[in-house]
Structure 1
Amino acid sequence: MSSIAARNHAVRSVALYRSLEARAAIRVQQGIVEVTEQVGYMEKVANAQKELVNQEAKIMETRLMLAGMCDPVNAKRMGDWLKQVSVVPKHDR
């Protein structure tokens, strides 16, 4: 469950840093700030995406391990439950 929470946090971080990077790009174009601000946010986007991929891999690894420990009768039910639990929550706007 901690990987699911960490993945969801990474999804929010990617969205936040993408937004801040886009804002910084506009500020750089207008000459308000140096390009280092935008580059800093680009690095944060890359790091957040890396964390997202790492957490997705952990979720898949755990899912496969748990499904593998089940007998064939329960494997599908366990796999379906794990898919349901690991879905990225929808964002309300």
Structure 2
Amino acid sequence: MELILPQEIKDRLAKGEELTIVDVREDDEVAAGMIAGAQHIPLGELPDRHTEIKQNGEEIILVCRSGNRSGKALNYLESLGYKGLKNMTGGMLEWAE
């Protein structure tokens, strides 16, 4: 599983880079805040909504609260043939630090 650090994402967004970020947390968690520009698809809805994720041949960054659910999402999407998947280590807990 390929990992990416929250600080690396922050740095790249600060430079104006457009990233494909999918937040798999639940609605109540996202209500408290999420990464600007991220797409919200709760983990439980991923089987029905994965086709909404842009596959432009570039990376797809998966985010949750701590990195556990986004890891499950990564494994699921990988099984469907998605490429360029990365799990944000530490999740939004680490993002907020």
Q: Give the TM-score category using the shorter length.
A: under 0.3
Higher Cα Rg, which structure: 1
- TM-score, normalised to structure 2, is 0.25
Q: Which has the higher helix share?
A: 1
- TM-score, normalised to structure 1, is 0.25
Q: Which has the higher strand share?
A: 2
Specify which structure has the bigger relative contact order, considering alpha-carbon pairs within 8 angstroms and separated by 6 or more residues.
Answer: 2
